[in-house]
Amino acid sequence: EIMENAKEFSDKAAIVISRTGGEGADLPTDMGPIMDGSTMDIGTKYMKGSYTNNSSEYDDFQAGQSYLELSQTEKDLGLFKCASRFQKDGNTLIIDGGDLLQGSPFGAYCHDTIGSAEKFAEIMNRCGYDYVTLGNHDFNYGMAYLDSYLDALHARCVCQNVRRADGSTRFPARVHTLENGLRVGIVGIVTDYVNIWERPEHIASIRISDPIPAAAAALEKLKSISDVTLCVYHGGFERDL
């Protein structure tokens, strides 16, 4: 009944195994038959139920599939799925647009349990990233935590409108020369709404200036020393440009 009610409000499939009595009540001691679908004991009957798509906006799953079948379906999503397809050579740059450190179960584990974002850097290093810019959520745990990521990162960080207290740019624009000789000027910027959204103590050692003038000034300087210029912006626009 619970699952039937849930299906009226959700277009996504979910499996919940729970207990309503004492320790281990109503749950089998051997979970193998549950995962291979060979049992219909209490606690698994909902997993044998069929899924109905109640929304015309999504086609992630096919109507009539069992919840158990859906739980074992691997989706073609995620960083590692994407990174495994990178065609990396000396004339290719791989660039990340920010918001890596917060917003995922792994991010919570790194912050709450490990206390360091170094593991994120290890992942990005294995994926072969060359440059990153910062997103507003990368400031959510403060600059010391952000630095634990950047210090272990092989890629260069570019974020032109993140300023030190003296006004200098902390993550300045870069010029990258490819194997074929092409010079690529790279600028990163982040929304200055970080100043509004973020806790003051998390950004006390920096200030984030208006991103558009910062990008324009940096790109102007890059023109004479670059063949191609690139700006990576983590933010949005309030009107058509």
Rounded average pLDDT over 118-131: 95
Contact 229, 187 (CB under 8 A): yes
Percent of the chain with pLDDT over 90: 59
Q: How far is CA 118 from the centre of its chain?
A: 15
Query: Strand, helix or coil at 154?
Result: coil
| Non-local CB neighbours of 227 within 8 Å, separated by 6+ positions | 182, 183, 184
The residue type of 71 is: S
The b-or-e profile of 40-57 (16+ CB within 10 A means b, else e) is eeebbebbeeebebeeee
Q: How far is CA 61 from CA 4, 13, 49, 98, 124, in A?
A: 17, 8, 14, 30, 31
**Could you tell me if 227 and 210 are in contact, meaning their C-beta atoms sit under 8 angstroms apart?**
no
User: Would you say 116 and 148 are in contact if contact means Cβ atoms under 8 Å apart?
Assistant: yes
What's the whole-number mean pLDDT along residues 135-160?
97
Bigger pLDDT: 46 or 95?
95
- Mean pLDDT over residues 188-208, rounded? 96
pLDDT (0 to 100) of residue 5 = 55
Whole-number pLDDT of residue 66 = 59
pLDDT at 25: 41
For residues 160-187, average pLDDT: 97
Q: What average pLDDT does the segment 96-123 reach?
A: 94
- Where helices occur in 135-193 by DSSP H, the ranges are 143-150
Q: Greater confidence, 241 or 39?
A: 241
Confidence of residue 7 (pLDDT cuts 50, 70, 90): low
Let me know: does 189 contact 161? Beta carbons within 8 Å.
yes
Task: Give me the pLDDT at residue 107, please.
Answer: 92
What does the alpha-carbon distance between residue 149 and residue 59 come to, in Å, rounded to a whole number? 37
pLDDT of residue 24: 40
Cβ neighbours of residue 116 closer than 8 Å, sequence gap 6 or more: 110, 145, 148
Could you report the per-residue pLDDT of 9-27, keeping only the tens digit for each?
444 444 444 444 444 444 4
pLDDT of residue 222: 97
Binning pLDDT at 50, 70 and 90, where does residue 67 land?
Answer: low
